[in-house]
Amino acid sequence: MNRTATGAATPRPALIASDLDRTLIYSTAALALTAPDAEAPRLLCVEVYQGKPLSYVTEAAAGLLDQLARTAAFMPVTTRTREQYRRIQLPCPTPRYAICANGGHLLVDGESDRDWQAVVAARLADECASLDEVRAHLLAAADPAWLLKERVAEDLFAYLVVERALLPDGWVAELSAWAEARGWTVSLQGRKVYAVPKPLTKSAAVREVARRTGARTVLAAGDSLLDADLLLAADRAWRPGHGELADTDWRAGHVEVLADRGVAAGEEILRRFLAAARTAAAAAA
């Protein structure tokens, strides 16, 4: 990731807290959400894994993101592990803050904040079932006919990689009900079934960064169930016309629902962020 320092000595009026995958950056599979091939925009690769290009933004989005990071405090907020996040080469100055593992790690200048780790550990111990219990149930409930991989992320949550077309009807809903009773949330994103403890939230980590930076306004965007708390905690927020939230027609009064899908939605979200950040800066001047 670009190691140029960002931010100013004084607080910026707006904190931009944005999900990454299928919100600002898009895998090859997610590109199918956008225009036909003949109308597809020019793309910039922002992630390479095992020698293969993995995630993209449009060239227009790259320019918008660079402007945004120089206008406001831009902070990626992702369910990715720290290792997965560090593979991304965003086309902008490196954000000082980033949130990984769905709020489990608050990175400050690339390093996980130990005070925040202690806060998260205490909440998980007090408020939900253990990772071992949930992981065991996930494996027992999964069928080898459609289970491809099982993973634990940062010793905080678990997920399955599945053949989505082969998932039995009602399986995710049944798993969700079981997890709900134990203080966990289930989310189906692409080929991954996530089981995440409810105390592990993006919004809690965002509130901590807002407190530290003195941000007057929080702007947010996201597409999945695991982003819902982030959008609700923001002053203004946007969600694209694709993803788990769109599939369930999830809405909130201050969350603008965009018609755009795929990489076009990523561009539009950045335009909305930039306009709102400039308005906040002008109001604070």
Q: Determine the pLDDT at residue 275.
A: 96
Question: Are both 97 and 164 inside the same structural domain?
Answer: no
What phi and psi values does residue 137 have, to the nearest 5 degrees? -65, -40
Mean pLDDT of 235-251: 95
Evaluate whether 235 touches 215 at the Cβ level (below 8 Å): no
Burial of residue 42 (number of CB atoms within 10 Å: 0-12, 13-18, 19+) = exposed
Q: Determine the pLDDT at residue 35.
A: 60
Question: Are both 18 and 63 inside the same structural domain?
Answer: yes
Q: Determine the pLDDT at residue 31.
A: 75
Cα(229)–Cα(31) distance, integer angstroms: 26
Q: Please give the tally of structural domains in the chain.
A: 2
> Is the pLDDT assigned to residue 64 strictly greater than 50?
yes
> Is the pLDDT assigned to residue 2 strictly greater than 90?
no
What phi and psi values does residue 159 have, to the nearest 5 degrees? -150, 155
The residue out of 197, 230, 251 marking a domain boundary is 197
What is the DSSP secondary structure assignment for residue 92, as one 8-state letter? S
Q: Determine the pLDDT at residue 205.
A: 97
> Is the pLDDT assigned to residue 37 strictly greater than 80?
no
Question: Are both 36 and 177 inside the same structural domain?
Answer: no
Evaluate whether 65 touches 90 at the Cβ level (below 8 Å): yes
Cα(258)–Cα(166) distance, integer angstroms: 30
DSSP-assigned beta bridge partners for residue 157: 153
Question: Are both 210 and 80 inside the same structural domain?
Answer: yes
**Segment 154-178, tens digit of pLDDT:** 999 999 999 999 999 999 999 999 9
What CATH number is attached to the domain comprising 254? 3.40.50.1000
52: helix, strand or coil: strand
Q: Determine the pLDDT at residue 11.
A: 61
**Segment 97-108, tens digit of pLDDT:** 999 999 999 999
CB atoms within 10 A of CB 144: 6
Which residue, 200, 183, 195, 79, is CA-closest to 138?
195
Question: Are both 116 and 65 inside the same structural domain?
Answer: yes
The residue out of 197, 218, 249 marking a domain boundary is 197
Residue 9: pLDDT band with limits 50, 70, 90: very low
The residue out of 153, 175, 197 marking a domain boundary is 197
Q: Give the Cα-Cα-Cα angle 36, 38, 40 (nearest 5 degrees).
A: 65
48: helix, strand or coil: strand
What's the mean per-residue pLDDT of the chain?
A: 92
- Whether residue 182 lies inside any domain: the answer is yes
Q: Determine the pLDDT at residue 36.
A: 63
Tell me the whole-structure pTM to 2 decimals. 0.89
Structural domain including 35 reads 14-121+200-284
Residue 8: pLDDT band with limits 50, 70, 90: very low
- Whether residue 65 lies inside any domain: the answer is yes
Q: Determine the pLDDT at residue 3.
A: 38
Question: Are both 104 and 213 inside the same structural domain?
Answer: yes
- Whether residue 5 lies inside any domain: the answer is no
Q: What percent of the chain has pLDDT over 70?
A: 93
What CATH number is attached to the domain comprising 148? 3.90.1070
